[in-house]
Structure 1
Amino acid sequence: MRIATFNLESFGSSHRNAAAFKERAVVLRPQLDRLKADVLCFQEVDAPKVGGIRRTSDLKRLLEGMPYAEYSLLVSPGPSGVRPADVHNLVMLTHFPVIEQHIIRHHFVEPLGFRRHTAIPPDPDVTALTWDRPLQHVVLGLPTGSRLHVFNVHLRARLAAAIPGQKSGPFAWETVSGWAEGFFTAAVKRAGQALELRLAVERIMDDEPDALILVCGDFNAEDHETALRLTCAREDDTGSGHLAPRVLTPVERTVPVDQRFTVIHHGRPEMLDHILASRALFAHFTHVEIHNEMLEDEVVAYGRIRQHPESLHAPLIATFDIS
């Protein structure tokens, strides 16, 4: 069984500076062929309006003629809870039977109240810090008769969140105070999403102590950072040996450090995309791949490559022997 996660980076975008579909498809189709995934988790699938309704039409065009075209295609809804959001939807593809699917957004962690100190004009009251994206939870039926819980996630980016009156451009700020408050806000949102993810996992483990659980996606965080520590819940963090069965483990830890990256930022390799497995599932783990051989530096790409067609994230694939 091969499980893959891949941030497609605004695939299907209607933005005037985005690469054309044909240019992106030429690059992405060979990457998808190489994955040979049984379960594929995508992040950043856009859904522009087609006939007045938001649809992930470009993704379906991308998959035409590929084995994935026959897979079940599950798309996370936007804030309305019905149709996809305009940008950055979660999508899961699989040929396994879908038993259940759930969308989690503030089910276990309510929006956090915060009064922004640097907003112009000042906030008259607290404002709600809500998650930018939901969590996608799908339960699949395996050929062995077992249930596999798969979470597809995309946590808040590490860029500072917008503060009213404090930005002078897409990446430029009027004051250090405004940037600092925006950066703090983004960090709180990312940690809050990770907390909600961990609480969702706990609910499953309460009912199924030996549950087969996978958490896949773009965490916008490396192994040692808060979002990963919250989600993994290692024994050295909880301090309790009896909680060891609830630990989630990043499969990429088996990859040599110098090859362990899915993003290059300003010349620095970073592992921001992860696949985490429960102990019961990790017993079947055999292999991991990071397809980062042709990865571009995202700072260079944004600044020097006009309408770059590739994703600036590398796909991550884990193989499990479920028989």
Structure 2
Amino acid sequence: MRLGTWNLENLFKPGGDGPTGQAEYDVKLAGLAATVTELAPDVLAVQEVGDPEALDDLVERLPGAWVTALADPDRRGIRVGFVSRLALADVAQFADFPTELGGVQVDDAGERIEQMGRPALQARVDAGGTRLDVITTHLKSKLLTYPGGRFGPKDEGERARFAVYALHRRAAEAATVRAGADALLEGDGTSRAVVVAGDLNDEPQAATTQIFLGPGGSEIGTPGHTQPDRGDGHRLFNLAPLIPEEQRYSRVYRGRRELIDHLLVSHALLDDVTDVTTGSGRTPSITDDPRRRRNAPQSDHRPVVMTLDI
């Protein structure tokens, strides 16, 4: 079985926030479809789906039969979802922060939010007799926006404050998804197959990404990785170290490679992972202004896909 995650980058119909014309839209769909066909996932967690009809147009270009599911959109109109060859069961979204957090401030005016900007979505699939619970998510971006829709700050103080607001929000969203995974694991991750997939908008060692892992000390590549302990029932393992080093990135920002899209699995699936890849092809370098990529022929992210021997 192959399972992956991919940020499709503003998958909208032409006009509005989408490509300026039908020709540009068709080129983007063709590029996305070629990549999905090459990677051949059975289940693909997707992010930045704008119009649901645009996802339908993409699926029509894929070989075989597929089903889809989408969460509610954020204020900008993008959402997470699934594209799957396997039936999707028990599909549900969630967004509420743990009540103990008490909300998170998001701007200088003091606005506080108590939900994820983009709800996460979970679904259950049956793969060769193995029941997999999969969560797809897209956390708050590191690319900052400022009042009035600006992509640049008025001064360095504003930049610093809004970076803090974004970091607090991303951390709260990570804690929310971690709580959703806990509900699926029920402390029995050595037998329950759970996957968290998505654009976490930070790299493997970032504090927000580390929130997903659970009890520390057994990350892949560490001395404790092969030593069973009581924490294994609660852990999620980031598969980043299993990606070949030359492929270990999913975005290029100002010429610097970053791995911000991740697959995490419960202990029950660790021994079943046979390979992890981010695909092939050229990845464009982006800046802080996403408007420049409106007519881009592909996504600015690389997919991350794993093969499971189940």
TM-score (norm 1): 0.82
Q: 1:194 aligned to 2:174?
A: yes
Once the two structures are superposed, residues 22-74 of structure 1 have per-residue CA deviations (whole angstroms, 9 ceiling, x without a partner) of 12123222111112111011100102xxxxxxxx1122112215235x22210
2:199 corresponds to: 218
2:157 corresponds to: 177
- Please tell me whether the aligned partners of residues 194 and 266 of structure 2 are also in contact (alpha carbons under 8 angstroms): yes
Q: 1:31 aligned to 2:31?
A: no
| Structure 1 vs Structure 2 CA RMSD | 2.8
1:139 corresponds to: 124
- Distance in 2 separating the partners of 1:113 and 1:205: 26
Instruction: Note closer, same or farther for the CA distance 1:135–1:115 as it changes in structure 2 (3 Å cut).
Output: closer
- Please tell me whether the aligned partners of residues 261 and 292 of structure 1 are also in contact (alpha carbons under 8 angstroms): no
**1:128 counterpart letter in structure 2:** I
Q: Secondary structure at the match of 2:116?
A: coil
- Distance in 1 separating the partners of 2:289 and 2:145: 22
**1:72 counterpart letter in structure 2:** V
- Please tell me whether the aligned partners of residues 292 and 315 of structure 1 are also in contact (alpha carbons under 8 angstroms): no
Q: 1:72 aligned to 2:67?
A: yes
- Spell out the pairing of 1:5-44 with structure 2 (5 A cutoff): 5-13=5-13, 14-15=15-16, 18=19, 20-44=24-48
Percent same amino acid among aligned pairs?
22
**Structure 2 regions of 5+ residues with no counterpart?**
none
> What's the CA shift for 1:303?
8.8
TM-score (norm 2): 0.85
1:95 corresponds to: 85
**Structure 1 regions of 5+ residues with no counterpart?**
48-55, 80-84
- Please tell me whether the aligned partners of residues 197 and 264 of structure 2 are also in contact (alpha carbons under 8 angstroms): yes
Pick aligned residue for 1:229 from 206, 210, 219: 210
- Distance in 2 separating the partners of 1:200 and 1:26: 34
Q: Secondary structure at the match of 2:9?
A: strand
Q: Which moved more, 1:258-267 or 1:92-101?
A: 92-101
Q: Secondary structure at the match of 1:291?
A: coil
Q: Which structure has the greater CA radius of gyration?
A: 1
Structure 1 residue ranges, 4+ long, deviating more than 4 angstroms after superposition: 237-241, 300-306
- Distance in 2 separating the partners of 1:73 and 1:304: 29
1:2 corresponds to: 2
Once the two structures are superposed, residues 108-158 of structure 1 have per-residue CA deviations (whole angstroms, 9 ceiling, x without a partner) of 346615385x44xxx5xx6335421011111112331x3211010100001
> What's the CA shift for 1:201?
1.4
- Please tell me whether the aligned partners of residues 10 and 87 of structure 1 are also in contact (alpha carbons under 8 angstroms): no
- Distance in 2 separating the partners of 1:104 and 1:302: 27
> What's the CA shift for 1:294?
1.3
Once the two structures are superposed, residues 261-285 of structure 1 have per-residue CA deviations (whole angstroms, 9 ceiling, x without a partner) of 0111111110011111111011211
2:248 corresponds to: 260
The number of aligned residues is: 297
1:63 corresponds to: 59
- Distance in 1 separating the partners of 2:117 and 2:97: 14
- Please tell me whether the aligned partners of residues 283 and 302 of structure 2 are also in contact (alpha carbons under 8 angstroms): yes
Pick aligned residue for 1:149 from 118, 121, 133: 133
**1:313 counterpart letter in structure 2:** H
- Please tell me whether the aligned partners of residues 25 and 295 of structure 2 are also in contact (alpha carbons under 8 angstroms): no
- Distance in 2 separating the partners of 1:7 and 1:101: 20
**1:184 counterpart letter in structure 2:** V
2:258 corresponds to: 270
- Distance in 2 separating the partners of 1:174 and 1:96: 49
